[in-house]
């Protein structure tokens, strides 16, 4: 009986969400009185660091076939590793990759699953996992009654905690059969923290009026080291790329700070962002619904407020 973490890696490095998953796995293992083991698929140079976050054992399956993502292949490999390591609880990140794996793994392992967990499980009245529901307006506890269990964890739901030191990575082999898919090419956006992992997000809506006005959004994001996002009509109009669209039909995020510029705060937008720790809204309409969800609000014109904000950030950085 063990808690097993599938640690995502990309471009040869273990991702931040993997450290979150291991921290979560360690605490879950403590709750269940069992051990916590982690593994990576493909190249993951810093896999040993997973030990510092609570994995007692770390494994890597180095076959280069895993350097590109194939949901069917990864499902077979993860299920095989889980069984080889005597797993009872599998934890993975609720990313695009995690979302495409969780359902398949649930069927393959005959395991009950909660996808998008927002906090640590409880083990009082059965094994229960918390999750935000109704567009973040309520929290539900899901009971997993099957012997094997799967939890996919929302990004930024837990802070990675370094509690120990790195461990030696052991190798493992898996039986995956012949891949049905061949990845011919892969294009990734580089140089920015992907939205689901971002701690700081600067987002803008139709209030910006024209795509040529996005300079102030990008400059504020760049000064803060934040990732940019947008409302759906902005992406639908082709003003910004679709991967920036947040909300019910876009990416759901949980950053530490979400700054919304010229966004009304429609319920479908809030559904993807209202788990942010701190929300700052800048809107010229004092009646904009977003102010009800905001921790801090500025009633004002973005073209007046944002340049002043950028100057203040620059001054602050220069003096600290
Ligand atoms: P608007 O509603 O046009 O608001 C613009 C805001 O900017 C206004 O509040 C205005 O006061 C303010 N403003 C204007 N000029 C300035 C200025 N100079 N300075 C400061 N403020 C200014 N939307 C999403 O975002 N994400 C989703 O995932 C999503 N999914 C949807 C799913 C469904 C099924 C449906 C029906 C809708 C969905 N929508 C989604 C659309 C959503 O209902 C809203 O229409 C959308 O979020 C509005 O975008 P917006 O706030 O950018 O634009």
All domains in the chain, ordered by first residue: 2-171 (3.40.50.620), 195-319 (3.40.50.1220)
pTM given for the model: 0.82
For residue 283, the 8-state DSSP code is E
The response to whether residue 252 sits with its C-beta less than 6 Å from ligand 1 reads: no
- Is pLDDT of 136 > 90? no
Is the pLDDT reported for residue 198 higher than 80?
yes
pLDDT digits (tens, 9 = 90+) for 15-28: 999 999 999 999 99
- Distance, CA of 253 to CA of 265 (rounded, Å): 15
Q: Please give the mean pLDDT across all residues of the chain.
A: 94
| Ligand 1 touching residue 266 (CB < 6 A) | yes
DSSP β-bridge partners for residue 114: 151
Q: Average the pLDDT over 235-243 and give the result.
A: 96
Residue 68 pLDDT more than 90? no
Q: How much distance in Å is there from the Cα of 265 to the middle of ligand 1? A: 6
User: Which is it for the CA torsion 117, 122, 124, 126, positive or negative?
Assistant: positive
Give me the pLDDT at residue 187, please: 78
Tell me what pLDDT residue 193 has.
83
Residue 284: CB within 6 Å of ligand 1? yes
pLDDT tens digits, one per residue of 71-113: 999 999 999 999 999 999 999 999 989 999 999 999 999 999 9
Query: Which band of pLDDT confidence, cut at 50, 70 and 90, is reported for residue 37?
Result: very high
Question: Does residue 288 have its Cβ closer than 6 Å to ligand 1?
Answer: yes
């Amino acid at each position: 009986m063990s808690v097993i973490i599938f640690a995502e890696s990309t471009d040869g490095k273990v991702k931040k969400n993997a450290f979150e998953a291991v921290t979560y796995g360690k605490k879950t293992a403590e709750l269940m009185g069992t051990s916590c083991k982690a593994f990576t698929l493909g190249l993951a140079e810093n896999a040993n660091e997973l030990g510092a976050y609570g994995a007692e054992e770390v494994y890597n399956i180095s076959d280069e076939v895993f350097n590109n993502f194939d949901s069917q292949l990864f499902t077979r490999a993860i299920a095989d590793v889980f069984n080889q390591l005597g797993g009872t609880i599998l934890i993975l990140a609720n990313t695009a990759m995690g979302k495409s794996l969780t359902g398949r793994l649930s069927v393959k392992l005959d395991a009950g699953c909660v996808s998008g967990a927002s906090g640590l499980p409880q083990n009082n009245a059965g094994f229960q996992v918390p999750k935000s529901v109704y567009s973040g307006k309520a929290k539900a506890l899901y009971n997993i009654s099957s012997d094997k269990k799967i939890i996919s964890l929302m990004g930024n739901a837990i802070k990675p905690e370094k509690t120990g030191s790195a461990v030696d990575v052991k190798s493992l082999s898996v039986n995956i059969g012949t891949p049905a898919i061949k990845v011919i090419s892969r294009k990734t956006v580089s140089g920015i923290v992907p939205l689901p992992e971002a701690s700081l997000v600067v987002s803008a809506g139709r209030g910006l009026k024209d795509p040529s006005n996005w300079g102030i959004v990008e400059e504020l994001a760049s000064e803060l080291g934040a990732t940019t996002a947008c409302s759906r009509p902005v992406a639908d109009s082709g003003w910004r790329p679709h991967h920036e669209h947040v909300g019910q039909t876009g990416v759901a995020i949980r950053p530490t700070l979400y700054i919304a510029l010229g966004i009304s705060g429609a319920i479908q937008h809030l559904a993807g962002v209202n788990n942010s720790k701190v929300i700052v809204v800048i809107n010229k309409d004092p009646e904009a619904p977003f102010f009800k969800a905001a921790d801090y609000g500025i009633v004002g014109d973005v073209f007046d407020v944002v340049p002043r904000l950028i100057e203040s950030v620059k001054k602050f950085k220069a003096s600290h």
